[in-house]
Each structure stands twice: as C-alpha cells, then as structure tokens.
Structure 1
Amino acid sequence: MTGFGKATLELENKKVSIEIKSLNSKQLDINTRIPNLYKEKDLVLRNEIKNKLERGKVELSIFIESIGSDKEAKINKPIVEGYYQQLLELSTELGIPMDREPILQTIVKLPDALKVEYQELDEEEWNKIFKGSQAAVNDLISFRKQEGAALQTDIFSRISNIENLQAEVTQYESKRIETVKTRINDNLNDFIEKQNVDKNRFEQEIIYYLEKLDITEEKVRLANHCKYFIETANSNNAIGKKLGFIAQEIGREINTLGSKANDSDIQKIVIQMKDELEKIKEQILNVL
C-alpha cells in the first residue's frame, strides 16, 4: 500500500505542485494539506481518493508558487479620509501643527484602515488542479502496482519454499514411526513382562497412539492452503485481508506438524517453514 505520486501544473501567475503519498494502514485514512483558496473543494478531493484507493494512510498536499496571493490588502479610502479629516480638525482646534507623512503612517495602523479582499475560486483553474490531482493519484497507483509485482514475486517464492520443505518431510516419516515404535517398546517391554497386561489391548493402544502422530492430514491441508493462497493472490480483487487469513491457516498446519513431529529433522524443517511464513506475513501488510 505504500506509494508516491506527483503532478506539476503551470497556471497563470502560479505554479502548482500536487503530491500524494500512502503508507500501510488497515483502513483508509485521508489527510489533506491544501491552500485556503481551495478548502471548499476538500471533500471533492477526498471522494476522488476514496474511489480509487481502498486502504492506506494517505496524505495529499497542494503547494502553490505564485506572484500574488489568495488574499490582497487594500487601503479603505473612506475610512482613511475620515480619520484624516478628524485629525486635521483636531489639529486646528488645538493649534498643533500636523505633518502629513507621519500622520498617514499612523492612520493606516488604525482599525479598518486596511481591508483584506480574498480572491474567489476560479472554476476553470480548479478543474485543471483537479485533473492534476487525478494524475497524481494515478501515478501513486502505478507506483503501487510496481511494488505489488515485486511483492508477488517474493511472496510466491516463499510459498514455493514452504511447499518444497514440506516435500522434504516425507523422507523422514518412515524413520520417525520406527523410532517411536522402538522407543515405546524399549520403555515398556519390562513392564509388560512383569505385569499382567493384555497384549492385544496394548497393541490397539499403540496403533491409536501412532495414528495420533500421523501427519498425513496436516500435509494435505498445508498443500491445499498453499495452492489456495496462490490462486487468491492471482485474482484481481482486493485480497490483502484474505491472504492474511490464509496465512493464519498455513501457520496452524505448520504448528500442528511440528507438535506431532517427534523427530529432530522434521522439527528443523518446521522451523524453516515458520521463518518463511513470518516473512510472508510481513509482506502481506503491504497488500491491498
């Protein structure tokens, strides 16, 4: 979900730079930094971003370089003239000479001597700026797609690594079962001989125990989850959250595989699987 987009416009007496960037976030969080002149269009910009970007912490900034400003100060002539006439009359009445230049400097500092006129929004100019913001958003989307392609390659390679590691488990399964059988027989052989134990019942219990250690189902489910992960990732919809859920299921099967392993070689493979899965989960945070 990280990305950056930019557009630059040359308008009459001003240069407009539009920048938009996004960071990872579970929801869509939009923040805008725009000049006061365009504040009334803030909702329009937010809706445009909302329609094109589904998730992420998004920040849109519009920078204006211009000769003028969105507000202009002008002398309020009637007020200044009124101040001047009153001061002139007061000067005559009191017999105090009045210097024109200093008195004008004083008058313009009095209340309402200056008035500020704000420029009105030019719709034609705004339409150009809005198109520029759309271009910046599209640039960000293009950036995201490039990042997504790289993420897909990395994630798919790690899913493939998990599948390859699972295939390595097979070579240790037969040895594992024999090791478990031998260990049980060695530990309980003396007990069986000394105690009155039903051997048929005991064999049934051993079979039940070995069935509990069987990892065939976990291997099948893990393979199916990996396959489903790839199929989901290849779809065109927003699948970030769904991939996260599938990754959780993959992790559950890997954990069960490890708990049933009872073999150091398989445990090593499980650790490698977990390492690959953790890296996948980190990358999924960047997926929409």
Structure 2
Amino acid sequence: MTGYASAQLAPDSPDAQPAASPLRLGLEIRTVNSRFLDLTFRLPEELRAQEPALRTLLTAHLKRGKVEVRAAIEQDASASLPQPSAALLQRLGMVQEQVQAWLPGAKALTVADALRLAGGNTTAQTDWASIVPPLAEETIAALLDARAREGKRLARMLLDRIAQLRDLAAQAAPLVPQLVEQQRQRFLERWQEAMGLTEGHIPPEAAQDRALTEATAFAIRIDVAEEINRLGAHLEEIERLLKKGGEIGKRLDFLIQELHREANTLGSKSATLELTRISVDMKVLIEQMREQVQNIE
C-alpha cells in the first residue's frame, strides 16, 4: 500500500540528547505497491549501525510493500558556536607553528578549522542508538495512519466495483433461459421442416423428442448459472473481508483470481453478443480490482 511519512528530531526537542543538540536528524519512509516486503535503506555513514534496529521495527509493523527509508543529519544553524579558551587557541597556534616548521607548505588554520577542533566532532559523539529508534517509531506510526486512510479509499473503490459486478451478474442471469427457449423453438421449426421433406416417414413424436433433446443438450452447454452463483459467493466473501479489515491482501489475491476464472468461463459459454459483452465488462472491473488489491496488506 502506498504511503509516506517523515519526522525530525530538532535540537530543542524534549527527546533530544544533550550531545545531539547541535544536530537535526530527519527520517522519512516511503512505501509503494509490492506483493512482498522489500526494504531499502539510504542512511548516512553515522547511522549505518542503526539499520538492523530499523529493519526490526519495520518488519514488526509492515507485511507487504516496497519500503524506502531515508535519513539525513544536518548541522543546526542556530546552534551556539563553541567558545575556545585562550589556552586552547594558544595551544593550536603552537601546534600550527610546529607543523609549518616541518612542513613549510602547510596551510594555516582557518577560523572554521579552529572552531571545529575546539568543538570536537559532535556527530561522532552522538548516541544514535538512543535517538533513532524513538524517531523511527514516530515515523512508522504516521506512516500507518497514512496507509489506513489509503486503505479506506481503496475499500470504497472495491465495494463500488463489487456493486457493478453484481449488476452485471443480474443482467446475465435471465439471458440463458431466454436463449434456451429461443433455441428450442428453432429446433422444433427445423424438425418440422425436416418432416415435411420426409413426407411423414418420421413420426411427429420422434421429431419433437429429438428437438427437445437437442435443446436440452444446448441448454446444458451454455448454462452459466453455476458460474454466476460462484461469482456471487466470491463477491460476498470479498465484501466481508473488506468490512472485517486486518491482513487480507493475500486472501483477496486468491479471490480475485477466482473471479477471473468465473468471468472467463462465462465468456467461453457465451452464445449471444450480450452475454459476451457482460463477460468483457466483468473482466475489466475485475482487472481494476486486481490492480488495487496489490496495494492492500
């Protein structure tokens, strides 16, 4: 199921650790359709060690979908600059003179270099193991909310397709008896013509029995009542699952395949253009349902 969520841990966040105060951590999760769970992580080097924990959290909450997790660490522009002491600056100056004495081509320290050396590597000092999991939990919760809203929209769409399929099945049901009756009359007319050509050598009762036998065989061959009944049962089960909710994606996959089978059989038994049209319309609706069912967990 498609979804997107993001969260940030700002320096002034109550959950932020003191060592992380000059930094801002951003985390976002995107999910798109997939029959299986496929996780992809795009993390900075500082967060590589947190990938197993993130993977565990995601697999605990998600069952299907192609999931991409992105994280970024930004230095907070509003963070206060380090205040190097005079002794530290003097020490840096002495070190610089010693280096340049041995390496005349060495460049002098810049203000940024002095501040970095005075403040240390804040990113390396940050306890990411205590920061990333809570932020990931927050992001996953937002993602699940987004996916739930998407699920409700998909459920409405599927229920609409179910109503259309039931309408088509109702249109198909009376067509077969009408067609059988028409064919029976056609057989009787042909046998009557044949009797006229044989000049009464065939008894009328035998001709009528043969016509009815042919009509019965034709009716059996084109009967789609069983397919329509099974299609109705599958639609009822799909509607029940949608109203129940939960992890129903795989069961819906199977039911959609069964709907395809019944619609195909309906088309193969068709003896009229109207029934063929109904079968084609059913296949279009079922294919639309199949595409959307792939989004449901």
What SS is found at the alignment partner of 1:59? strand
Q: Please name the residue that 2:281 is paired with.
A: 272
Aligned-residue identity in percent: 25
Q: Please name the residue that 2:160 is paired with.
A: 157
What SS is found at the alignment partner of 1:274? helix
1:42 counterpart (37, 51, 62): 51
Q: CA deviation at 1:174?
A: 3.3
Q: CA deviation at 1:45?
A: 0.8
Aligned counterparts of 2:107 and 2:228: Cα–Cα separation in 1: 89
Aligned counterparts of 1:140 and 1:117: Cα–Cα separation in 2: 33
Aligned counterparts of 1:79 and 1:187: Cα–Cα separation in 2: 114
Is 2:100 aligned against 1:105? no
Is 2:136 aligned against 1:133? yes
> Are the counterparts in 1 of residues 96 and 108 from structure 2 also a CA contact under 8 Å?
no
> Are the counterparts in 1 of residues 9 and 25 from structure 2 also a CA contact under 8 Å?
yes
Aligned counterparts of 2:56 and 2:296: Cα–Cα separation in 1: 22
User: Per-residue displacement from partner, 1:184-235 (whole Å, max 9, x unpaired)?
Assistant: 4445554566578764456434323322222221221111111111122233
How well do the aligned residues superpose, as a CA RMSD in angstroms? 3.1
> Are the counterparts in 1 of residues 187 and 211 from structure 2 also a CA contact under 8 Å?
no
2:126 counterpart (113, 122, 127): 122
Q: Please name the residue that 2:82 is paired with.
A: none
Q: CA deviation at 1:157?
A: 1.0
What SS is found at the alignment partner of 2:69? strand
Unaligned 5+ residue runs, structure 1?
Answer: 69-74, 88-102, 109-114
- In the alignment, residue 175 of structure 2 is paired with which amino acid? Y
Aligned counterparts of 1:279 and 1:210: Cα–Cα separation in 2: 32
Cα distance, 1:14–1:80 mapped onto 2, change above 3 Å: same
Q: Please name the residue that 1:7 is paired with.
A: 7
Aligned counterparts of 1:128 and 1:119: Cα–Cα separation in 2: 12
Unaligned 5+ residue runs, structure 2?
Answer: 12-20, 78-91, 110-116
Aligned counterparts of 1:122 and 1:67: Cα–Cα separation in 2: 14
TM-score (norm 2): 0.75
Aligned counterparts of 1:216 and 1:176: Cα–Cα separation in 2: 13
Cα distance, 1:80–1:48 mapped onto 2, change above 3 Å: farther
Alignment of 1:196-207 (within 5 A): 199=207, 200=209, 203-207=212-216
1:66 counterpart (72, 75, 82): 75
- In the alignment, residue 5 of structure 1 is paired with which amino acid? A
- In the alignment, residue 269 of structure 1 is paired with which amino acid? I
Is 2:248 aligned against 1:239? yes
- In the alignment, residue 163 of structure 1 is paired with which amino acid? R
- Farther-moved stretch of structure 1 (245-254 vs 151-160): 245-254
- In the alignment, residue 136 of structure 1 is paired with which amino acid? T
Aligned counterparts of 1:219 and 1:278: Cα–Cα separation in 2: 18
User: Per-residue displacement from partner, 1:139-163 (whole Å, max 9, x unpaired)?
Assistant: 1111111010000001011101111
Q: Please name the residue that 1:175 is paired with.
A: 178
Q: Please name the residue that 2:263 is paired with.
A: 254
Q: CA deviation at 1:122?
A: 3.3
> Are the counterparts in 2 of residues 22 and 57 from structure 1 also a CA contact under 8 Å?
yes
Q: Please name the residue that 1:92 is paired with.
A: none
- In the alignment, residue 41 of structure 1 is paired with which amino acid? Q
Is 2:227 aligned against 1:218? yes
- In the alignment, residue 122 of structure 1 is paired with which amino acid? T
Q: CA deviation at 1:182?
A: 3.2
The structure richer in strand per residue is 1
- Farther-moved stretch of structure 1 (161-170 vs 192-201): 192-201
Q: CA deviation at 1:10?
A: 0.9
- In the alignment, residue 280 of structure 1 is paired with which amino acid? M
Q: Please name the residue that 2:17 is paired with.
A: none
What SS is found at the alignment partner of 1:44? helix
Q: CA deviation at 1:18?
A: 0.9
Aligned counterparts of 1:67 and 1:42: Cα–Cα separation in 2: 24
Aligned counterparts of 2:156 and 2:121: Cα–Cα separation in 1: 57
Cα distance, 1:277–1:192 mapped onto 2, change above 3 Å: farther
